[in-house]
Amino acid sequence: MRVRTRLAASFAYVLLVVIVALTVPLAVIVRDRARSELEALARTNAQIIASSLDAERLDARDGRRLQREVERYAADAGGRVVVVDRDGTAIADSEREDVGEPFDTAVRPEVGEAFAGRVATTVRRSDEEGGDIVVAAAPVIDEGEIVGAVRTSRSISALAENVGRATAAIAAVALGGLVAGLLLAAALAGSLARPLSALAGVARRLGGGDLAARAGAVEGGDEVGELAASFDEMADRLERTVQAQREFVANASHQLRTPLTGIKLRLEAARAEASDASLARELDAADLEVDRLARIIDRLLTMASRLEEGRAVEADVDEAIDRALARWRERAALASSTLTAGGDTAPVRTDPHDLDQVLDVLVDNALTHAPGPIEIRTDLDDGRLRLSVRDHGQGIPPDERERVTERFFRGNAAAPGGSGLGLAIARELAERSGGDLRVAGAEGGGTIVDVWLPVAREAGPP
């Protein structure tokens, strides 16, 4: 259902974009074309009226005849007509408002353009009309001399209404096309979504750990059939790979631990019987090397077996920290270190064993490379829990902090004997649960490692 909805939404979005891309420019073109035609008409009217006048008619003592002519011109042009003499004074006005008043003013720049010998046309806001008007001015020329000017003006409210009706008609057509397109999109989405939904369900089962999940024969055309066949082929290879990996982990665990256990027992027996102090020290060192080798093998096996077989479960952070303190308290005492913990916690969505492994890596690193006070702190921030382990050692150089979480990377100042796998394992475990791991320098010296894990809002199945 979600696949069908997404497909329908995608079709609708594309259709909407196409309709908008076509209708909006069309409406703009209609508006601009109508305005251009209105400006051209105003320009023509001004020129026609100006060409019918001369100096004698503008200088006539009886202006009533000119006034009647101007009113007739205004009625024919459908707007206002004003005739201005060479001094810039209105001598005839179809609305009889500004007769005898200066008309060549700053608010009417088109009149000045006419006295300069040019025909001017513009659209601007008019407070008197309460909207936009189109104005045009043309010079009155008599025997090559400019003796006055004619200015016409007309409200474009009717034009706006016409454009609005045209735009509404275009929008109605576009809406009808959109509805028809949505119906078609829903039908197409249904035919495409059903096989994809089935394939998505099989993928979820495979991702949830059901390695036997297969798509089989899926209807939906050659492309979907090829996709289903490729998916089943991939699932077959994945199942064989996982089975081989599990067998390798089981065999490696047995084959490696058995001789290590025997070596450790022999070293302990030899140490108990050793009377020479120098020999005893060498046996102790060999025993420590065996322990270090065992930890390296454990981490390698952990990395080899990190295949997610289900959802992350809920882990109690307080209990995990208590377990870590109990495991590492004796080691900390031998290293003259102290372990403290505190802060706000909440259950997190991760495997409890993964959380134990992360804590072991961080505490082990701190005890090995920076013995001294080691602090474990927790706090909550925007649905995530931050688990911080801080030491007070020399710290990690800034140019190495991004690389210490890479496999087998060891810094220039790192103590001998490490494997370079600990932080890599911790980072992969955190990311496996949807979290993150960051290494930074601590204020006042030392290193702080922050592990971010999602808070468990609902308990997941084990």
Structure confidence at residue 23 (pLDDT): 64
Q: Is residue 168 part of a domain?
A: no
Pick from 114, 141, 160: which residue ends a domain? 160
pTM of the model: 0.41
More confident of the two residues 60 and 241: 241
Q: Does 23 share its domain with 137?
A: yes
Q: Does 148 share its domain with 87?
A: yes
Q: Does 275 share its domain with 381?
A: no
More confident of the two residues 171 and 368: 368
pLDDT tens sequence across 99-131:
888 887 777 888 888 888 888 888 877 776 667
- Mean pLDDT of all residues in 255-272: 80
pLDDT classification of 308: cutoffs 50, 70, 90? very low
Q: Does 11 share its domain with 146?
A: yes
More confident of the two residues 406 and 31: 406
How many CB atoms are located within 10 Å of the residue 360 CB? 20
Query: Do strands 373-381 and 338-343 pair parallel, antiparallel, or not at all (unpaired)?
Result: parallel
More confident of the two residues 290 and 350: 350
CATH of the domain at 438: 3.30.565.10
- Mean pLDDT of all residues in 229-251: 77
Q: Is residue 203 part of a domain?
A: no
The pLDDT of residue 13 is above 80: no
Structure confidence at residue 69 (pLDDT): 83
Q: What are phi and psi of 349, to 5 degrees?
A: -90, 90
Which three-class secondary structure string do you get for 395-457? Answer: CCCHHHCCCCCCCCCCCCCCCCCCCCCHHHHHHHHHHHCCCEEEEEECCCCCEEEEEEEEECC
Structure confidence at residue 46 (pLDDT): 83
Structure confidence at residue 454 (pLDDT): 92
Pick from 249, 270, 299: which residue ends a domain? 299
CATH of the domain at 241: 1.10.287
Which helix (H) or strand (E) segment is 6 a member of?
helix 2-51
The pLDDT of residue 218 is above 70: no
Structure confidence at residue 311 (pLDDT): 47
Q: Does 72 share its domain with 140?
A: yes
CATH of the domain at 139: 3.30.450.20
Question: Which of 245-249, 282-286, 366-370 has the lowest average pLDDT?
Answer: 245-249
Q: Is residue 439 part of a domain?
A: yes
pLDDT classification of 250: cutoffs 50, 70, 90? low
Q: Is residue 196 part of a domain?
A: no
pLDDT classification of 229: cutoffs 50, 70, 90? confident
Report the alpha-carbon distance of residue 224 to residue 222 in Å, rounded. Answer: 6
Q: Does 292 share its domain with 316?
A: no
pLDDT tens sequence across 433-446:
889 999 988 888 88
Structural domains counted in the chain: 3
Report the alpha-carbon distance of residue 272 to residue 157 in Å, rounded. Answer: 108
pLDDT tens sequence across 146-166:
888 988 888 776 655 666 666
Structure confidence at residue 11 (pLDDT): 61
Q: Does 292 share its domain with 340?
A: no
Q: Is residue 92 part of a domain?
A: yes
How many CB atoms are located within 10 Å of the residue 358 CB? 29
Structural domain boundaries enclosing 113: 2-160
Structure confidence at residue 348 (pLDDT): 92
Across the chain, what does the average pLDDT equal?
78
